[in-house]
Amino acid sequence: MSEITKTAVKEPAKKAEPGKKNRWIFLALPVLVSVLLLLVPVPAGLEPYAWHFFAIFVGVIVGLIFEPLPGAVIGLTGVVVIALFSQWLLFSPAELADPKFKTAAQAFKWAVSGFGNSTVWLIFGAFMFAAGYDKTHFGRRLALILVKYLGRRSLTLGYAITFADLLLAPFTPSNTARSGGTIYPIIANLPPLYGSKPNDPSARKIGSYLMWVAITAACITSSMFLSALAPNLLALGIVNSVTGINISWGTWFIAFLPVGLLLLLTMPLLAYWFYPPEVKINDEVPRWATAELAKLGRMSRHEILLLVFVCCALAMWIFAASFIEPAMAALLVVVLMLWTGVLNWNDITSNKPAWNTFAWFATLVALADGLSRTGFIAWLGKEGAALMGGISPGAATIALLLAFYLLHYLFASTTAHTTALLPAMLTIGAAIPGINMQVFCLLMVTSLGVMGIITPYGTGPSPIYYGSGYLPTKDYWRLGTIFGAIFLIALLVIGYPWMMMMF
């Protein structure tokens, strides 16, 4: 017995060593990448401080990919490092030479700027909605209803989630509000019914599959409708101001229709193949759900109040976006939940996933904004224009779309991506003789939704699903690459010829 005990004690120690070594390697890797980039000579035409900022930014992205520490810690570290060394990483010589410019104060103002971003607060509100669904058991009730009628097969549940997003998309100009605030709180209640738990090997039973289908559906519908994503409307204004081209709701819809329909019809099945749930068919679960619904009985007062509040939030997101910011609408509902007892203040303060995601996403928004602030993005656009000289219109269109799509890896916000890169891309495109500018513009703007799938921070709802505990970091990056490539190929192989034929 003593020998067995000694062996049992020794074995974990042996197993722990590689993990420790890997962790130290992963901790050192972001620092090493940043240092190597800092040592690279500054590219011609770029200010040194802009290149140095980019070096730290790349280090943060590497850290987020390998995650030796929680994502929020990686993002906060990047922001703090840049703020502390802002004289060399953030501010131009002209700013520093101004006697009225307060370097320390401006560095701090930039560092916390992401915490005032509306999308960040909307994400936080979505987590509070989920807390309400969980506490009142209203989410469980909806999940049981869904399981009762569609729960026999995992694949049919995937399609149910997809079409639920599709029905809301044309009327909800925020995919964070639509997917994170409405779809997620409902489907978060489904996996436990199958014994699938977050941050646990059982996540792969069905939870991982459902979460991946939900975020993928949100990205597809965001590209399908002009009114399904707030940056789509921003992109429209930029297209008009840079090129003078007007894109109507109908033109947008027709342009993306073949790609959108194909992806919506095949995506749950593709996810089923690439990220299969362990539970495929279960006849007992629907019967059990029927019995559990009977036990829940009639809806409680808090469930009814929550339903009313959620409907009010949806109404504001759909019909009152010009009068009340979607994030403010979400915060209003949170306040109403607190006043009516649906939630209490302890539910807010003890919600660790919500605060973790809030801090993580806020720091990434600030870092992405810094790329534009330092002039790195403008320089990138100028260099791109020089490289396009002598290339055929078709090849130039494809090359620019590839660059626009893949550069989304640098952004934690579709709005920031649109603001920073779209004017540069349109300017480059307009300078190429023979290019079909309407088709070029349509390709650029309809890619904004689907490109959000490539990273765990690529679009508003991404951090919510990433933080659910069902999508491990390595799985998210792997699937993001696979589905990002599928979406891009569909846009090029189906969307581009279709748009050329129609416009």
What integer pLDDT is reported at residue 341 of this predicted model? 94
Q: What pLDDT sits at residue 273?
A: 96
- In the numeric block, the tokens 């006849």 are attached to 283
Tokens of 23: 């962790």
Q: What is the mean pLDDT of residues 215-229?
A: 93
Q: Is the pLDDT of residue 487 over 60?
A: yes
Whether the pLDDT of residue 213 is over 90: the answer is yes
Q: Higher pLDDT residue, 226 or 482? A: 482
Mean pLDDT in residue range 287-293: 84
Mean pLDDT of the chain: 87
In this prediction, residue 292 carries a pLDDT of: 83
Which tens digits make up the pLDDT trace of 308-327?
A: 998 888 888 778 777 888 88
Residue 346 has pLDDT above 90, yes or no: yes
Has residue 137 got a pLDDT over 80?
yes
| Alpha-helical runs (H) found in 352-470 | 352-373, 376-387, 393-406, 414-430, 437-450, 462-466
Q: Which residues contact 436 (CB under 8 A, 6 or more apart)?
A: 393, 397, 500, 503
Comparing 307 with 242, the larger pLDDT belongs to 307
Q: What was the pLDDT predicted at 209?
A: 97
Query: Where exactly are the structural domains of the chain?
Result: 20-116, 119-343+375-502
Higher local confidence (pLDDT), 386 or 36? 36
pLDDT value for 196: 92
**Residue 253 pLDDT more than 90?**
yes
H-helix segments, 227-351 = 230-243, 249-274, 284-296, 301-319, 326-340, 345-349
Residue 67: pLDDT band with limits 50, 70, 90: confident
Q: Which of 161, 79, 178, 72 is nearest to 122 (CA)?
A: 178
Q: Is residue 2's pLDDT more than 50? A: no
Q: What is the pTM assigned to this prediction?
A: 0.72
Mean pLDDT calculated for residue range 121-146: 83
DSSP structure string for 149-164: HHTTBHHHHHHHHHHH
Classify 468 as helix, strand or coil: coil
The mean pLDDT value for 460-485 works out to 94
